Amino acid sequence: MAATPSAQYSLTLRVEIAHRPGMLGRVASAIGEAGGTIGAVDLVQVERDHTIRDITVETGDASDWPRLTEAVGAVSGARVLDTTDRTFSLHVGGKIEIRNKSPLKTRDDLSMAYTPGVARVCRAIHEDPDKAFQYTIKRNTVAVVSDGTAVLGLGDIGPRAAMPVMEGKAMLFKEFGGVDAFPICLDTRSVDDIVGVVRALAPAFGGVNLEDISAPRCFEIEDRLKASLDIPVFHDDQHGTAVVVLAALLNSLRLTGRVIGDLRIVVVGLGAAGVAVTRILLEAGARHIVCCDSHGAVSVDRADYLDGSMPSVKRSVAAVTNLERRSGAVVDVIEGADLLIGVSGADVVPASALARMNPEPIVFALANPDPEVSPEKALQYVRILATGRSDYPNQINNVLCFPGVFRGALDVRAGQITESMKTAAARAIAEIVGDAELREDYIIPSVFNREVAPAVAAAVAAEARASGTAEAGAELGFGSTEEFGAIPGR
């Protein structure tokens, strides 16, 4: 699969091409023969006997590049002057920046934004700390916190190497939710330290998005932060995934006319995502779930449960799932299942095992970049297939969830993101797909569907209001102040 040309491996070649008929065609052919797909072709310079062009080429892997460069160089009359790795180029200097929201050009600007005028604003917040939501970035700012221990499929790569992901996350927050997010990558793995640091940082932030922190530490960190902070704390790897899985499931049920309580479900993988998916499914009414970890089906009959060596998070899952106390590997418990949800690793389920599921089964194989079962092979066995990848239909991607969830929570100044707010988010995502559009290969909207985040935000805010999680008066929003008279919105 690595051979499919993709933008992530796109290379810009700066090529000097002699003025001879058919030269560009020959260069293009050489690129095609070397396995590259040409994107933009830009003219850089025209000289008397040659032109210089930037040719952007998507390839299947960076290992294709030397071959590609050689192939172009081998064309008589063409010379490669330079190559640019577009992905690395995009990351140079980082991907986000700070911008001032008002000018700072005159002494008057300075005396209002900074000294001496700022003292009046400080004093107002000191007298009523709640005003921090009115007069500081707190109202719209989320910390994206990671320790770099479970980054994408890369694992424990540390805080510095995790930064490009957290910056990317901040971009998504801004682009889709209008939320100002700042990446906080922590140079510590101690649960106590991480909890302490995030608690200390809280004054500047209106919410905390935990990200790529390895299990089981992520559970304790989230629980302790939720208990001690008055702003939402949301571990996206758990709840973002769970919300989007539920959204995809709701639409699968809608399409197939099934009922969640009747569904026989197997969850493969009991890390952060697996635990959260299991919980949201139970919350949504699922009754027959068997969860598997690397030792097979988890149950209260399993030896590590009985001898007390099973970690507490898994114990709590074991206690409320697998009521039939089934045992065995995934290929065993898959027998008779209607829905398989993979949140584990590449190729842990042989495609042939899907034949043992009930008729017209649903499979969400979400391991990234390589799913639990090959989509090409799985398709013959299943009615609905979803993955975490953008190059297959039905991409289950957290981007559908977190920008809208935080947008909604910040808008009503929710103190937390409750189970019912998550369920509301899942419903909102599912409802974006209209009845007329709903099909086996379209159960979930595209990550670029601009309707999703506002719909999720509205649903989350409404649920927070209805359940009393929103702060009274927070919805007055911009412009409400009692300092002196009214302050029209800016």
Give the residue, chosen from 45, 89, 294, 352, that forms a contact with its own copies under the rule CB under 8 A.
89
User: Which residues partner with 43 through β-bridges?
Assistant: 53
Measure the CA–CA gap between 372 and 351, rounded to whole angstroms: 9
Interface size with its own copies, residues (CB under 8 A): 121
Q: Which one of 163, 195, 249, 298 is in contact with its own copies (CB under 8 A)?
A: 163
Distance of closest approach, residue 102 Cβ to its own copies, in angstroms? 6
Among 42, 47, 193, 360, binds its own copies (CB under 8 A): 193
Q: Is 41 in the site for its own copies (CB under 8 A)?
A: no
Binding span for its own copies by CB under 8 A among 198-206, 235-243, 287-295, 311-319: 198-206
Binds its own copies by CB under 8 A, chosen from 24, 41, 135, 419:
135
If one asks whether residue 79 binds its own copies (CB under 8 A), the answer comes out as no
379/447 with CB nearer its own copies: 447
Instruction: Specify the amino acid at residue 118.
Output: V
Q: Name the helix (H) or strand (E) containing 288.
A: strand 288-293
- 441 part of the interface to its own copies, by CB under 8 A: no
Nearest to 287 by CA among 212, 231, 339: 339
43 binds its own copies (CB under 8 A): no
| Choice from 3, 74, 171, 466 touching its own copies (CB under 8 A) | 171
Asked if 133 and 206 touch (Cβ cutoff 8 Å), the reply is: yes
Site for its own copies in 361-420 (CB under 8 A): 368-369, 390
Q: Is 139 in the site for its own copies (CB under 8 A)?
A: yes
Whether 405 and 383 have beta carbons less than 8 Å apart is answered as no
Buried/exposed code over 340-365 (b: 16+ C-beta within 10 A; e: otherwise): bbbbbbeebbebebbeebeeebbbbb
Q: How far is the CB of 278 from its own copies (least distance, A)?
A: 24
Which of residues 18, 125, 346, 379 is near its own copies by CB under 8 A? 125
Does 129 interact with its own copies (rule: CB under 8 A)? yes
User: Which of 141, 423 has the CB closer to its own copies?
Assistant: 141
**Residue 59 in the binding site for its own copies (CB under 8 A):** no
| Residue number, 89 or 294, with CB nearest to its own copies | 89
Taking alpha carbons only, the member of 59, 63, 62, 1 closest to residue 31 is: 59
Q: Does 116 bind its own copies (CB under 8 A)?
A: yes
Tell me which of 138, 169, 314, 422 is the catalytic residue: 169
Which one, 48 or 101, has the nearer CB to its own copies?
101
What does each C-alpha distance from 43 to 46, 83, 455 come to in angstroms?
A: 8, 15, 43
65 interacts with its own copies by CB under 8 A: yes
CB of 250 to its own copies, least distance (A): 24
When asked if residue 92 is in the footprint of its own copies (CB under 8 A), the reply is yes
Distance CA 80, CA 341 (A): 47
User: Which range of residues in 27-35, 187-195, 322-330, 334-342 is near its own copies by CB under 8 A?
Assistant: 187-195
44 touches its own copies by CB under 8 A = no
| By the rule CB under 8 A, 94 interacts with its own copies | yes
Whole-angstrom distance, CA of residue 201 vs CA of residue 196: 9
Annotation marks residue 9 as catalytic: no
Asked if 479 interacts with its own copies (CB under 8 A), we say: yes
- Please select the residue that binds its own copies; options are 26, 28, 41, 136, rule is CB under 8 A: 136
Pairing mode, strands 339-342 and 362-365: parallel
Tell me 148's DSSP state: S
The residue among 158, 170, 245, 176 whose CA lies nearest residue 209 is 170
Task: Kindly state the tokens that stand for 125.
Answer: 């917040």
Rg of the chain (C-alpha set): 26
CA dihedral 464, 466, 469, 472 (to 10 degrees): 110
442 has catalytic annotation: no
Nearer to its own copies, 29 or 480 (CB): 480
Whether the upstream peptide bond of residue 369 has omega within 30° of 0, thus cis, is yes
Which one of residues 53, 86, 235, 326 is an interface residue with its own copies (CB under 8 A)?
A: 86
Going by C-alpha positions, the residue among 212, 141, 240 that lies closest to residue 181 is 141
Residue 437 buriedness (CB in 10 A; 0-12 / 13-18 / 19+): exposed
Specify the stretch interacting with its own copies by CB under 8 A; choose among 135-143, 280-288, 305-313, 354-362: 135-143
Distance, in Å, from the CA atom of 306 to the CA atom of 39, rounded to the nearest integer, reads: 59
Residues 288-347 that bind its own copies (CB under 8 A): none
Catalytic residues: 114, 169
